[in-house]
Amino acid sequence: MPLVRAVTCPVCGCLCDDIELTVEKKEIVKVKNGCAMCESKFLGYNGEHRLVKPLMSKDGELVEVTFEEAVEKAAQILVNASYPVLYGWSSTSCEAIRAGLELAEEVGGVIDNTSTVCHGPSELSIQDVGIATCTLGQIRHRADLIIYWGSNPWSSHPRHIERYTAFSEGRFEKSKWCGYITKVKASVAKKKFQSAIRRVIVEERSSLPPPPQRDPSEVLSKTGRKLVVFDVRRTRTADIADYFVQVEPNKDYELLQVLRALVRDEDIDVDEVAGVSVKHLEEIVDAMVSCEFGILFFGLGLTMSKGKMRNINAALSLARDLNMRTKFMIMPMRGHFNVTGADTVFTWQTGYPYAVDFSTGYPRYNPGETSIVDVLMRKESDAALVIASDPVASLPGKAVEHLVQNPLIVIDPHMNATSQMADVIIPSACVGIEASGTAYRMDHVPLPLKKVVNPPKGVRSDEETLRRILSEVRKLKKKQEAEAS
């Protein structure tokens, strides 16, 4: 059985490139080294929900058509639209994204990627403040203080902690696996003990009381790697952390600014901020200032809650302030496997990372106006092309209402929520499994995506499909120009 080594996983922004796949009779039958989501993708990508034939809506029903018919219809929709949106891009290759940008320019629409509903505010803040960052390799080998803020990598990036942070074995910093195992054993024993007591005294089962708030100095003064989590609720990542700080919802901004003040040795004239004791915050800041290499990973807990880009401004500024005292880096936890690539290619080609409007003939960027949710909420678009994304499942329902009222083209390997509402569906090869390409890891390191098996007969890659639509659009426009003259 052929074993394909060093495969890059096309699921999350970690882009783990140590996956081993066993291929039997042209199918992937075994996945080694992957997380639960990785296994689910490699073993389930070709399941019942797989699209293999182009479909078009006729009298409210989706019927099979040829690839050429679907491409022609898609091109007609885009050419006839005056303000189409081209959305998605974060789960495809950089090569396809490049073709998509060319198409957006040709049809004069708005092109936006899923950053708009994940780290769009982070992009805006990075443009405002700047970012002190590094690669994940540097963190693996050198970081002795790791902070996750508003991020739960245990669920969203399951191998992030193991490959790059607290549980990774670095050249200068050791893995914290052993400490974690001891902690889990102690926690299991405690739960068994509590359960036994409950059985003896027949006490009604209730929530376990919150763990007593320990003094941060107890755990943060120890030597070796330390993991601190800031979040509005106790997550699985918080469970494994050395110290967890529970922040009141929508109060991250205040907390970040107080940490900045403490880093600058300013006095705080309150006892508590965002539900956290200032005394504890002082001890956390001591740990931040005294670390040799700190890293703050932030997630959607900051970008999606009150304050949005202002939260990120404060986080980036905190990292900047900390660099006056020690070495401290900061990095957004990017979600989709090539959302960083989408931002990067958008920036090469247009100068802007997302929400780019070509309707005036040149790229214009004004998130809040040219971003997809705003365009849809103002009901301005009159057609849409969605690729490698599922906005019907990921955008607010109020915005989706307008998206589905207009002609909708979907290019995707699977029948997802958006495909179910589409007028034209063009199946595509799964990038990183059936098509090769390039993707950018969350730290901006480009990695190759492998083609491991062939796509179903007649199914093309995203890049090829987009190039065919682009060619058809150019042909139609030429024809219209000739008729007009």
**Nearest approach, Cβ of 429 to other proteins (angstroms)?**
16
Q: Quick check: 249 binds other proteins (CB under 8 A)?
A: yes
Residues in region 356-385 near other proteins by CB under 8 A:
367-369, 371-374, 377
What are the structure tokens assigned to 340, written together?
């960083």
DSSP state of 454: P
Residue from the set 16, 71, 79, 392 that interacts with other proteins by CB under 8 A? 392
**Nearest approach, Cβ of 156 to other proteins (angstroms)?**
4
Residues in region 183-242 near other proteins by CB under 8 A:
206-210, 232-236, 238
The CA R_g of the chain, rounded to the nearest whole Å, is 25
Q: Quick check: 394 binds other proteins (CB under 8 A)?
A: yes
3-state helix, strand, coil in the chain (%, to 5): 40, 20, 40
Name the 3-class secondary structure at 179. Answer: helix
Helices 462-484 and 94-107 pack at an angle, to 10 degrees, of: 10
Residue from the set 131, 404, 445, 476 that interacts with other proteins by CB under 8 A? 404
- CA atoms of 171 and 169, how far apart (whole Å): 7
Nearest residue (CB) to other proteins, 219 versus 421: 421
Residue from the set 117, 129, 263, 424 that interacts with other proteins by CB under 8 A? 117
Q: Quick check: 40 binds other proteins (CB under 8 A)?
A: yes
**Nearest approach, Cβ of 200 to other proteins (angstroms)?**
21
| φ and ψ of 446, to 5 deg | -75, 140
Q: Quick check: 416 binds other proteins (CB under 8 A)?
A: yes
- CA atoms of 249 and 6, how far apart (whole Å): 41
Residue from the set 139, 281, 285, 355 that interacts with other proteins by CB under 8 A? 355
Nearest residue (CB) to other proteins, 257 versus 290: 257
- CA atoms of 36 and 25, how far apart (whole Å): 24
Q: Quick check: 303 binds other proteins (CB under 8 A)?
A: yes
Q: Quick check: 400 binds other proteins (CB under 8 A)?
A: yes
**Nearest approach, Cβ of 181 to other proteins (angstroms)?**
20
Q: What is the per-residue DSSP string for 141-209?
A: HH-SEEEEES--HHHHSTTHHHHHSTTS--SSS---HHHHHHHHHHHHHHHHHHHHHHHHHTPPP-PPP
C-beta of residue 385 within 8 angstroms of C-beta of residue 102: no
- CA atoms of 444 and 111, how far apart (whole Å): 21
Q: Quick check: 421 binds other proteins (CB under 8 A)?
A: yes
**Nearest approach, Cβ of 271 to other proteins (angstroms)?**
22
Q: Quick check: 401 binds other proteins (CB under 8 A)?
A: yes
Q: Quick check: 36 binds other proteins (CB under 8 A)?
A: yes
**Nearest approach, Cβ of 331 to other proteins (angstroms)?**
18
- CA atoms of 347 and 441, how far apart (whole Å): 16
**Nearest approach, Cβ of 476 to other proteins (angstroms)?**
25
Q: Which helix (H) or strand (E) holds 473?
A: helix 462-484
| φ and ψ of 65, to 5 deg | -135, 175
Residue from the set 90, 92, 113, 116 that interacts with other proteins by CB under 8 A? 116
- CA atoms of 405 and 61, how far apart (whole Å): 16
Residues in region 133-162 near other proteins by CB under 8 A:
152, 154-156, 158
Nearest residue (CB) to other proteins, 202 versus 208: 208
How many residues at the interface with other proteins, by CB under 8 A?
A: 72
How many residues make up the chain in this entry?
485
